[in-house]
Amino acid sequence: MLKKEPYKPLLNELLTPETIMMKTRVKNWEDGIRTAAFPLLQNRFITEQYVQSMIENVKKFGPYIVIVPKVAIPHARPDNGVLQISMSLLHLEEPVYFSEEEEHAVHLIFVLAAIDDETHLKALSQLSDLLMEEENINKILQTKNKQEILVLIDQYSSS
Protein backbone atom coordinates (compact mmCIF):
# COMPACT_ATOMS: atom_id res chain seq x y z
CA MET A 1 0.00 0.00 0.00
CA LEU A 2 1.27 3.46 -0.90
CA LYS A 3 1.88 5.84 1.97
CA LYS A 4 0.23 9.20 1.27
CA GLU A 5 2.55 12.19 1.54
CA PRO A 6 1.27 14.76 4.04
CA TYR A 7 -0.02 17.90 2.35
CA LYS A 8 2.58 20.66 2.13
CA PRO A 9 0.95 24.09 1.73
CA LEU A 10 2.26 26.69 -0.71
CA LEU A 11 3.48 30.08 0.46
CA ASN A 12 0.31 31.86 -0.73
CA GLU A 13 -1.82 29.45 1.31
CA LEU A 14 -0.08 30.58 4.49
CA LEU A 15 0.53 34.28 3.79
CA THR A 16 -2.93 35.71 3.15
CA PRO A 17 -4.59 39.11 3.65
CA GLU A 18 -5.51 37.97 7.18
CA THR A 19 -1.93 37.09 8.15
CA ILE A 20 -0.17 40.16 6.71
CA MET A 21 -0.03 43.36 8.77
CA MET A 22 1.40 46.76 7.95
CA LYS A 23 2.52 49.09 10.74
CA THR A 24 4.67 52.17 11.06
CA ARG A 25 6.70 50.99 14.06
CA VAL A 26 6.89 48.73 17.11
CA LYS A 27 8.44 49.52 20.52
CA ASN A 28 11.23 46.92 20.34
CA TRP A 29 12.05 43.52 18.86
CA GLU A 30 9.98 41.65 21.46
CA ASP A 31 6.97 43.79 20.58
CA GLY A 32 7.78 43.13 16.92
CA ILE A 33 7.58 39.36 17.41
CA ARG A 34 4.37 39.69 19.47
CA THR A 35 2.77 41.96 16.87
CA ALA A 36 3.84 39.74 13.96
CA ALA A 37 2.45 36.66 15.74
CA PHE A 38 -0.88 38.30 16.64
CA PRO A 39 -2.92 37.08 13.61
CA LEU A 40 -1.76 33.50 14.25
CA LEU A 41 -2.62 33.77 17.95
CA GLN A 42 -6.00 35.36 17.13
CA ASN A 43 -6.85 32.52 14.72
CA ARG A 44 -5.73 29.91 17.27
CA PHE A 45 -2.95 28.62 14.98
CA ILE A 46 -0.46 29.09 17.84
CA THR A 47 -0.61 29.58 21.60
CA GLU A 48 0.89 32.28 23.79
CA GLN A 49 3.55 29.73 24.75
CA TYR A 50 4.78 29.74 21.14
CA VAL A 51 5.15 33.54 21.16
CA GLN A 52 7.13 33.32 24.43
CA SER A 53 9.32 30.54 23.01
CA MET A 54 10.22 32.65 19.96
CA ILE A 55 11.22 35.55 22.23
CA GLU A 56 13.21 33.23 24.53
CA ASN A 57 15.07 31.80 21.51
CA VAL A 58 16.29 35.26 20.52
CA LYS A 59 17.31 36.05 24.11
CA LYS A 60 19.19 32.75 24.31
CA PHE A 61 20.77 32.55 20.83
CA GLY A 62 20.91 36.20 19.74
CA PRO A 63 19.58 37.68 16.48
CA TYR A 64 20.10 34.50 14.42
CA ILE A 65 16.57 34.94 13.04
CA VAL A 66 17.71 37.93 10.95
CA ILE A 67 18.33 35.82 7.84
CA VAL A 68 19.07 38.56 5.29
CA PRO A 69 19.31 42.34 5.73
CA LYS A 70 15.96 43.80 6.84
CA VAL A 71 14.26 40.38 7.29
CA ALA A 72 13.71 38.21 10.36
CA ILE A 73 11.98 34.84 10.62
CA PRO A 74 11.23 34.11 14.29
CA HIS A 75 10.19 30.54 15.06
CA ALA A 76 10.32 27.90 17.80
CA ARG A 77 9.85 24.15 18.12
CA PRO A 78 6.45 22.80 17.02
CA ASP A 79 5.83 21.32 20.48
CA ASN A 80 6.03 24.81 22.02
CA GLY A 81 2.48 25.68 21.06
CA VAL A 82 1.86 25.28 17.33
CA LEU A 83 -1.72 24.15 16.71
CA GLN A 84 -1.73 24.52 12.90
CA ILE A 85 0.93 25.20 10.29
CA SER A 86 0.89 28.93 9.68
CA MET A 87 2.89 31.99 8.75
CA SER A 88 2.42 35.72 9.15
CA LEU A 89 4.17 38.88 8.02
CA LEU A 90 4.61 42.18 9.79
CA HIS A 91 5.71 44.99 7.44
CA LEU A 92 7.28 47.91 9.35
CA GLU A 93 7.98 51.34 7.89
CA GLU A 94 10.56 52.04 10.59
CA PRO A 95 13.09 49.32 11.43
CA VAL A 96 13.17 47.45 14.71
CA TYR A 97 16.62 46.40 15.97
CA PHE A 98 17.33 42.85 17.09
CA SER A 99 20.75 44.03 18.35
CA GLU A 100 22.69 47.28 18.34
CA GLU A 101 24.25 46.31 15.00
CA GLU A 102 22.92 48.02 11.87
CA GLU A 103 22.77 44.62 10.10
CA HIS A 104 20.08 43.55 12.60
CA ALA A 105 17.68 46.37 11.65
CA VAL A 106 14.51 44.66 10.45
CA HIS A 107 11.49 45.88 8.46
CA LEU A 108 9.91 42.50 7.66
CA ILE A 109 9.11 39.92 10.34
CA PHE A 110 7.83 36.58 9.02
CA VAL A 111 6.59 34.36 11.86
CA LEU A 112 6.85 30.68 10.97
CA ALA A 113 4.82 28.12 12.93
CA ALA A 114 5.67 24.60 11.82
CA ILE A 115 3.80 21.52 13.04
CA ASP A 116 6.68 19.11 12.32
CA ASP A 117 10.04 18.98 10.55
CA GLU A 118 8.62 18.71 7.01
CA THR A 119 5.15 20.10 6.33
CA HIS A 120 6.36 23.73 6.12
CA LEU A 121 9.37 23.08 3.87
CA LYS A 122 7.72 23.86 0.51
CA ALA A 123 6.39 27.22 1.73
CA LEU A 124 9.69 28.03 3.43
CA SER A 125 11.60 27.19 0.26
CA GLN A 126 9.29 29.47 -1.73
CA LEU A 127 9.80 32.25 0.82
CA SER A 128 13.58 31.75 0.61
CA ASP A 129 13.46 32.01 -3.18
CA LEU A 130 11.46 35.24 -2.90
CA LEU A 131 13.85 36.74 -0.31
CA MET A 132 17.01 35.78 -2.20
CA GLU A 133 16.17 38.52 -4.70
CA GLU A 134 17.03 41.83 -3.05
CA GLU A 135 14.74 43.52 -5.57
CA ASN A 136 11.76 41.62 -4.06
CA ILE A 137 12.63 42.76 -0.54
CA ASN A 138 12.82 46.35 -1.79
CA LYS A 139 9.44 46.00 -3.56
CA ILE A 140 7.85 44.75 -0.33
CA LEU A 141 9.50 47.52 1.70
CA GLN A 142 8.33 50.24 -0.68
CA THR A 143 4.71 49.14 -0.93
CA LYS A 144 1.97 50.56 1.23
CA ASN A 145 -0.60 47.88 0.48
CA LYS A 146 -1.02 44.16 1.09
CA GLN A 147 -2.26 43.46 -2.43
CA GLU A 148 1.14 44.22 -3.98
CA ILE A 149 2.80 41.91 -1.46
CA LEU A 150 0.27 39.16 -2.24
CA VAL A 151 0.94 39.47 -5.99
CA LEU A 152 4.65 38.93 -5.34
CA ILE A 153 3.95 35.99 -3.03
CA ASP A 154 1.73 34.41 -5.72
CA GLN A 155 4.62 34.57 -8.20
CA TYR A 156 6.66 32.30 -5.90
CA SER A 157 3.83 29.92 -4.95
CA SER A 158 3.77 27.10 -7.45
CA SER A 159 3.36 23.43 -6.65
Domains and CATH numbers, the chain: 11-155 (3.40.930.10)
pLDDT at residue 159, as a whole number: 76
Strand, helix or coil at 46?
Answer: strand
pLDDT at residue 136, as a whole number: 97
Burial 139-158 (b: 16+ CB within 10 A, else e): ebeeeeebeebbebbeebbe
**CA torsion through residues 47, 96, 68, 132, sign:** positive
- For the stretch 3-29, pLDDT in tens is 556 789 999 999 999 999 999 999 999
Structure pTM? Answer: 0.95
- For the stretch 21-76, pLDDT in tens is 999 999 999 999 999 999 999 999 999 999 999 999 999 999 999 999 999 999 99
The residues facing 91 across adjacent strands are 22, 108
pLDDT at residue 14, as a whole number: 97
* Measured distance CA(76)–CA(79) in Å, rounded: 8
pLDDT at 145 exceeding the cut of 80: yes
Tally: H helices and E strands in the chain: 6, 5
Burial of 98 (0-12, 13-18, 19+ CB in 10 A): buried
- φ, ψ dihedrals at 105, nearest 5°: -80, 125
pLDDT at residue 7, as a whole number: 85
What integer best gives the mean pLDDT of the chain?
95
Return the closest-CA partner of residue 40 out of 6, 8, 74: 74
Q: Give the torsion through C-alpha atoms of 41, 30, 17, 45, to 10 deg.
A: -20
